[in-house]
Amino acid sequence: MSADNAVDAAPAPDDEGRRRGLRRIDLRRLGRAALLGPGGREWGLPAGGRGQRVPDAIEHLAKVHRLRHPGVGAAGIETLRRAYLLAESSHRGQMRKSGEPYITHPLAVTLILAELGAETTTLTASLLHDTVEDTEVTLDQVREEFGEEVCYLVDGVTKLERVDYGAAAEPETFRKMLVATGSDVRVMSIKLADRLHNMRTLGVMRPDKQARIAKVTRDVLIPLAERLGVQALKSELEDLVFAILHPEEYARTRAMIRANSVRPDPLAAVADAVRAVLREAGIAAEVAIRPRHAVSVHRVLLKRGADELGGCEFGRILVLVGEDADCYAVLGELHTCFIPVIAEFKDFIAAPKFNLYQSLHTAVADEEGRIAEVLVRTRQMHRVAEAGVIALGNPHTVDEPPQAADGERVDPTQPGWLSRLLEWQRDAPDPDTFWTALRADLAQDREVTVFSAHGGDTTGTIRLPAGASCVDAAYALHGEAGHACVGARVNGRLAPLRSKLRDGDIVQILLDESGTSGPSADWLEHVRTPAARIAVTRWLELHPVPPADEEPAARAERPAYSADTAAEDEPVAVTDLAGAAVRLARCCTPVPPDEVTGFVIRGGTVAVHREECPTAVRMTGAGREPVPVRWRGGRPAGAGFRATLLAEALGRPRLLADLTEAIAGQGVGIVSASVEPPQEHRVRHTYTVELPDAEALPGLMRAMRSVPGVYDVYRAQRAMAAARR
């Protein structure tokens, strides 16, 4: 039996605020009914007989289920009865640490889901969710008795054994659940309800174990509840975690809520005024006061301070109407008859949140200056806002959902954020990396939507966590091909790769198709998505860069660059210094027939510079003795030469595209490219290019100068000399 389930029914945090639609159940009464009720005397009857009496222990469950789903027939209730009988008989003799029969746990979890409107298959799997993990029941038995769907859900929430996985059991269990959730979100619905009941009954655990479970709930389960839109579960989980991890602050917040509850509620007067306005306007609406839960009050307290909290901050006004159009009619009346606080207005109906949430948010002040927050939504929106994906029912009762043009799933029961999470988790090499990346991903609770572009045309949308950079967009768009990202345009202008993207930005990723570019270590400083971080980290591990201060002895262990070992894509220079390796300086990228000179650097290597290179001039001025070098006479066939060119131009649209096209037209490859920020409408592009031979350089420079707007092209050392001056 898992430690998470072997817990006591200890008192949960204060319940004075409504539990947002979740009814608390007398688990002790249910436990007695499970063992002693009239239904218990029927368990000896032949199994499978329809029309048998529903056991008392699930009578309430059946009533709630019929209330939420009036179309449920006798067959559905019979399925729940059989699932309950199997669960009770298989768990019989197992007790929770509090002494309660273990069957009270799956019963409570199932009742939570029933209150939220889960359909029959989910409730059946919930009753059985611990049987395979904690009893002799097998998945094959569940499949034979209840079908493939119930078997899949039970398997999805079954934990991996710590005996087999050791410390990796918890992260690998969550990985398994997420993969199962990718095919059926009901898996995570059952897990969330399971954790809620366990958190409600966490009393006899040691404080350190309570804290460990609460932290995992905070870091993983609560963000998943938020992303799946199950606000009713999320709110109570937040309060339970708050009570365990911050007991003093929780107690102070609850004391403030209790103190406010005995005073006249100023929101009541505002709500009455709202009812009167809507009644006079002929708009049929329900108006209610919605108390904030403890964590919500605490957040307001941190934002405004205790001295600024009035009665209106302890709740919000909820207006429920029948149709979408009525929401905007209500908004119009509120903003006409009250003083609107424009900064507080948000339209989540026209632009729903990524977790299915829809509502109009506003704040208004009445004649006495009392400011109240108001939520306006339809009854269906309210149902989805409370229960999220649980309210959407069985995702397998419809055909394969369509997809948007950018590949984002339209079906809200299989959201795009989940698809992206499943993509990067496959690349997480070990449980620790997966666990760390999962927590980091789920901690990013706000998304931005940007538009991808190619050749000036918008091609689709990308959803990224707030604070994501152009590098994140590159990997989101191109996967592993994002390694070749050399630049980006944001809203038509060249931008650094570290630039943070905002809602509505149009981003175009510029890739080096030569295959010679790759990520740099500083990309890790501004990536936010786990997919990008894992991809960059893996690339850097496969392409290590030797440290600059590496000892000469260590350098000597690697093959030295010399006339005999030079790669064929580099020009070859030689020196008369016996046994010395030769390396071409990157500051001036010399190519034949440039006049060159050399200097001995650390490790005995000779660095080759162009004679006019400012670095060479500076080294000579410092008294460094130059070493004669020359180009080797016969280079291998097909050998290439590299050079660095700078292009000065007037900034205009498509300049980068035209320059790269001109370079490609000369049969020259681009090794790397960078663009400096424009200054007074002027821009400077730097290209390191790979030439088929040195004689191609003048022709390439002429072709680049012919691009409209380009007024000069020159080798790298001119810019360096100008900077030196």
- Catalytic (active-site) positions: 133-134
Q: 287 forms bridges with which residues in the sheet?
A: 319
Name the E strands within 343-399. Answer: 346-347, 360-365, 371-378
For residues 691 and 642, is the Cβ–Cβ distance under 8 A? Answer: yes
Q: Quick one: CA torsion of 109, 115, 120, 123, rounded to 10 degrees? A: 0
CB under 8 Å to 433, separation ≥6 — which residues?
A: 534
Q: 600 forms bridges with which residues in the sheet?
A: 606
- C-alpha dist (Å) from residue 285 to 271, 346, 352, 465: 12, 20, 22, 36
Q: 675 forms bridges with which residues in the sheet?
A: 685
Output phi, psi for 92, to 5 deg: -60, 130
DSSP 675: E
**How far out from the chain centre does Cα 234 lie?**
17
Rounded Cα gap, residues 25 and 12, in angstroms: 12
Q: Collapsing DSSP states into helix, strand and coil, what is residue 248?
A: helix
For residues 315 and 292, is the Cβ–Cβ distance under 8 A? Answer: yes
Name the E strands within 263-386. Answer: 286-291, 315-321, 339-340, 346-347, 360-365, 371-378
Q: 288 forms bridges with which residues in the sheet?
A: 318
* Continuous segment of H or E residues that includes residue 384: helix 379-387
- If 0-12 CB within 10 Å is exposed, 13-18 middle and 19+ buried, where does residue 166 land? exposed
Rounded Cα gap, residues 364 and 312, in angstroms: 11
